[in-house]
A and B are shown apart, each in its own frame.
Chain A
Amino acid sequence: MNRAAQAVVMVFLGGAIVRASVTDLYLRYVKQGLRPFLVAAGVLLVVAAVMALTQEIRDRHRPTAREDDEHSHSGPAVGWLLLLPALALLFVVPPALGADTAARAGSALTDNQDVAYPPLPPGDPARLTLLDYGYRAVYDQGRTLRDRQIQLTGFLAPGPDGQPMLARIVLSCCAADGIPIKIGLRGEVPHLPADTWVRATGRWIPHTAKDPVNDSDIPYFQLDTWQQITPPAEPYE
């Protein structure tokens, strides 16, 4: 792998990173806080590539000491692999994690967080994350959820019994550590394809099930109304 090839690979990778981070595409893979670092790293990659190309052109016009340069500027063939993520980011743009992960991985409610749960935020319905709803429902026995209309946003994923559940992926850093949070549904359950995003309004019900994958708890939610929505820019919780 010579110097010009290395420069081309770095331009592709840097360009792909910059493009993903100036649009909202990067949110499919990492958390929002990484954005400035992604832009800076992408720009640096492109600058390093431009410097390499300038050097290359300068050396081409200077025929002396070619042999030594050739040796010291070559890189390992493994560097070509950097094209893979660049091309994937530019041309495939893999989707955010969804129903496939929800089906394979166990739900997030495995350890009791022994905290005092504050009252629900004001509003009717009160908007909660799936994780917040889950913790309050399972580990606080729904104490703060009673007698309130609640709104949850997530995608549909088939549950172990074939019935659709409401799910969302929780990230701590990047999609490699994504863990699903699953909420069982009762009432007029939407029968739409998996990975369809819905905004659901309803109430807490005192019913839980176990996730067969990892024995975690799956709380349930009584649907009153729901509407299909476009996937949010920030797909994770």
Chain B
Amino acid sequence: MLLILVGVLHRQVGGVVADPRLQTWLTVFVSVLVQAVPFLVFGVVLSAVIAVFVPRSFWARALPRHPALAVPIAGVAGVVLPGCECGSVPIAGSLIRRGVTPAAALAFLLAAPAINPIVLTATAVAFPRNPEMVAARGGASLVVALLMGWLWLRLGRAEWIRLPHRAHLDGLPRMAAFWAACRHDIVHAGGFLVVGAMAAATINVAVPQQFLHDLAARPVLSVLALAALAVLLSICSEADAFVAASLSQFSLTARLAFLVVGPMVDLKLVSMQAGIFGRRFAARFAPATFALAVLVAAAVGTVIW
């Protein structure tokens, strides 16, 4: 039955995609995914290892008591959590649940998806001629994460954060919990990755090169445009460097803004934050992070290039 359906589909679909423009769209769509899947899968597996085999209380013990000191430690600790932003939202939620000060958990939330080894390796692979992009991305992202953490200490209110009551990995045997975490993250993050790849392919095929060419020629506008594009495309941080590399008509500073904003603020991330921390939190946190990320990326880019 399934095989017959598949056979029929094969004929039908083959006929529909004879149009060259549509074929290009499909090729770009599939290639973004093929490129991203290994990074996604290994990121998910490693973050499942940490989520299941490292006791959560470890994080609380490892951080200094004083919140202002816990922020940089938690931010830098993002290095050891190889995963994309979809994985770090629930982890930040569980850190807060375990008694970590929210400012530190938020610094971790913002830093982890941008400065971990898998994402930085992907960035190095995507920018073979500009190795300084790796340092610029890591540095700018860490600065934004720490500033947001300290900003939360000054201005944040505990009642903005509302965590849901649920911990679905607790109570399962370890291996079962491990595979459940993998499956959960792959389906969550993978589904949103498909949305991002479709948007990226559409932009790649539909937006006239001339338009991007004109936009890319204006320094300030191009930084804002790519920062906004990062929010709209919502590409996983493990794959976004490859998309940034493809936007080659834009300045490196504009592409840095894309790489710094993307893992911190995008459509799927804001919806996940609203789901896990509450709407009142997301409505304040996301715009502030966006503004800060654009400013820091522009500053770092101006200094380097």
Contacts and interface: CB of A to CB of B under 8 A. Distances in A.
Contact of A92 (B26, B33, B200, B204): B26
A101 B200 CA distance: 15
**Contact count band on A:** 35 or more
Interface stretch (B12-20, B141-149, B153-161): B12-20
Interface string A1-40: 1010011011001000100100000101110001001101
A44 B45 CA distance: 9
A182 to B, nearest CB: 14
B71 to A, nearest CB: 31
A229 to B, nearest CB: 21
9 contacts: A38-B38, A41-B40, A48-B186, A55-B180, A71-B168, A72-B166, A77-B191, A173-B242, A213-B210
A17 B34 CA distance: 7
A85 B209 contact: no
B41 interface: yes
Contact of B194 (A55, A85, A101): A85
A13 B249 contact: no
A29 B35 contact: yes
Contact of A29 (B10, B30, B245): B30
Interface in A80-109: 80-82, 84-85, 87-89, 91-92, 94-101, 104-106
Task: Please provide the 6 A-B residue pairs with the shortest distance between their CB atoms, ordered closest to farther.
Answer: A177-B246, A78-B191, A29-B31, A175-B31, A79-B187, A72-B168
A29 B37 contact: no
Contacts of B261: none
B195 interface: yes
Given A10-B186, A91-B13, A94-B27, A176 B204 contact: yes
Contacts of A82: 187, 190-191, 194
Contact of A173 (B40, B186, B245): B245
B41 A44 contact: yes
**Contact count band on B:** 35 or more
B31 A176 contact: yes
Contacts of A200: none
Given A41-B37, A76-B188, A100-B24, 8 more contacts: A38-B38, A45-B186, A49-B183, A95-B23, A175-B27, A175-B30, A177-B248, A213-B209
B37 A17 contact: yes
B32 A20 contact: no
A42 B213 CA distance: 37
A210 interface: no
B125 A81 contact: no
B37 A38 contact: yes
Interface of B: 6, 9-10, 13-14, 17, 20-21, 23-24, 26-35, 37-38, 40-42, 45, 125-126, 128, 166, 168, 176, 179-180, 182-184, 186-188, 190-192, 194-195, 197-198, 200-201, 204-205, 209-210, 213, 242-243, 245-246, 248-249
A106 to B, nearest CB: 6
Nearest to A171: B31
A78 B192 contact: yes
Interface centre among A6, A85, A89, A106 (most CB of B within 10 A): A85
A80 B191 contact: yes
A233 B246 CA distance: 23
Contacts of B31: 28-30, 174-176
Given A72-B168, A177-B242, A37 B26 contact: no
B187 A88 contact: no
A173 B28 CA distance: 12
Contacts of B17: 92, 94
A81 B37 contact: no
A156 B190 CA distance: 37
B28 A175 contact: yes
A1 B190 CA distance: 14
B194 A92 contact: no
Interface in A127-186: 172-179
A92 to B, nearest CB: 5
Contact of B27 (A6, A42, A96): A96
Interface centre among B10, B41, B176, B242 (most CB of A within 10 A): B41
A95 to B, nearest CB: 6
Contacts of A73: 180
B243 A176 contact: yes
B184 to A, nearest CB: 7
A214 B209 CA distance: 8
A75 interface: yes
B209 A176 contact: no
B187 A34 contact: no
A52 interface: yes
